[in-house]
Chain A
Amino acid sequence: MSQTQMMKGILDGCLLAIIRGKEVYGYEMAERLSEYGFGEVSEGTIYPLLMRMQREGLVTSVKKASTAGPKRKYYSLTDKGRQELEAFLERWKRLERSVNEAIRQETNEGSEGSA
């Protein structure tokens, strides 16, 4: 799966939303993304994104022992991360509205129905 800038931005936003709820570790995030239909994105893609978000101060992490297997790294949002999430949601809403509007108007008017 090729990673365009737009896709990365969208995944960033989804990760921030997932992390907002409660502390999560990488595998859990990947599972949730695939539940939400991002199955085509390879799971490891989240780690470079998390690394950058951590460097930018959007998330923090702590390592905790787990009952099965090696230690897990749990992520949580910082205040800056929360602000970034708000900003993303705002951007997304506007984008979604525009895209939907464009599709609705253009497909109603000209071309024959495609799915």
Chain B
Amino acid sequence: MRGVKAVPELSKESRRFIDDLRLYLFSSGKKEEEIREIAEELEAHLEEAERNGKPIEQVVGASPKEYMEMISNEMEFDKKAWMKYIPVIIFGAISFTIIGQLVEDMRLSYSYAILGGSALVSILFVIMIFGAFKYMAARQMSRVKEFLIILPPVFIMMTLFGALVFWDMTTDLPGFELGVMPSMIVGAVTVAILMWVSIWAKTAVLLVMLSAIHVPELLLKLTTLDVTISLIINLVAMYLIIGIYMYFSFKKMKKADAAAG
């Protein structure tokens, strides 16, 4: 059957190693093409080794971490691709405030401090989260532990963003404002990028967060409730939606762990 890729029957352990290696190399900024090459080659090797009854340690050695480092050292950092990623990352970071502002009053206004600050925080976040990825990829830990390692970078990012937004709100900083039409176009592009990122990363987390923040607010605008009550309902609904989503993804992770043994 031409065109159909033969799927090798790898053991769960080997499968996991290959996935972790890909994540490790990706987080180290290596070229996608080269990552695929070495992953395929090792996959073929592991598959044949398994058919001959060899354990994975005989192939990757006692320390998967050391082995991943050895491979990583032979690969170059992909500068070009990262120059392209950075604008997307910064855009992703301010996308939440873009949607927020559009929901609020249909036009965008930003201070230069917020834009520059977002860029810095985003880059810091990417460095931290990739550090976390590398850390867990090299150590083959449970999904639940992986999730816990992702939390500190997320928490630090949210705190820094919060501080930035607070500074912006309480101080009159220089900036610019867009008209309704350009604002809407930026909004549409933002939603498209968020969708694309979600499909690419196979997670609904961004979209869930976004709707948790804005859907209750929009619905409450239609009611005639007291402002304080609205605010409280808004907050409770937001945490509820995020909580429910986390609960279900947590359950899914545990199930995946149980299946992996």
Q: Is the interface of B mostly helix, strand, loop or mixed?
A: helix
Contact of B45 among A1, A26, A68 (CB under 8 A): A26
Number of interface residues of A (CB under 8 A): 22
CB A43 to nearest CB in B, in angstroms, measures 5
Collect the chain A residues with CB atoms within 8 Å of residue B5's CB.
70
Collect the chain A residues with CB atoms within 8 Å of residue B38's CB.
47, 51
Collect the chain B residues with CB atoms within 8 Å of residue A72's CB.
44
Please tell me if the beta carbons of A44 and B45 are within 8 angstroms of each other in the complex. Answer: yes
In the bound assembly, the distance between CA atoms of A72 and B6 in angstroms comes to: 12
Number of A-B contacts (CB under 8 A): 69
Contact surface of B with A, Cβ cutoff 8 Å: 5-6, 8, 37-38, 40-45, 47-49, 51, 54, 57-62, 67, 70-71, 73-75
CB B183 to nearest CB in A, in angstroms, measures 49
Collect the chain B residues with CB atoms within 8 Å of residue A52's CB.
74
Collect the chain A residues with CB atoms within 8 Å of residue B45's CB.
26-27, 30, 43-44, 47
In the bound assembly, the distance between CA atoms of A69 and B217 in angstroms comes to: 54
Beyond the given A43-B45, A44-B67, A48-B73, could you list 5 further A-B residue pairs with CB under 8 A, ordered by the A residue number?
A27-B49, A30-B45, A43-B58, A44-B42, A45-B70
Collect the chain A residues with CB atoms within 8 Å of residue B47's CB.
69-70
Contact surface of A with B, Cβ cutoff 8 Å: 1, 3, 25-27, 30, 42-45, 47-48, 51-52, 55, 66, 68-73
CB A49 to nearest CB in B, in angstroms, measures 8
In the bound assembly, the distance between CA atoms of A89 and B44 in angstroms comes to: 31
Please tell me if the beta carbons of B41 and A73 are within 8 angstroms of each other in the complex. Answer: yes
Q: Which residue of B lies closest to A41 (CB)?
A: B61
Please tell me if the beta carbons of A71 and B59 are within 8 angstroms of each other in the complex. Answer: no
Q: Which residue of A lies closest to B41 (CB)?
A: A73
In the bound assembly, the distance between CA atoms of A61 and B38 in angstroms comes to: 12
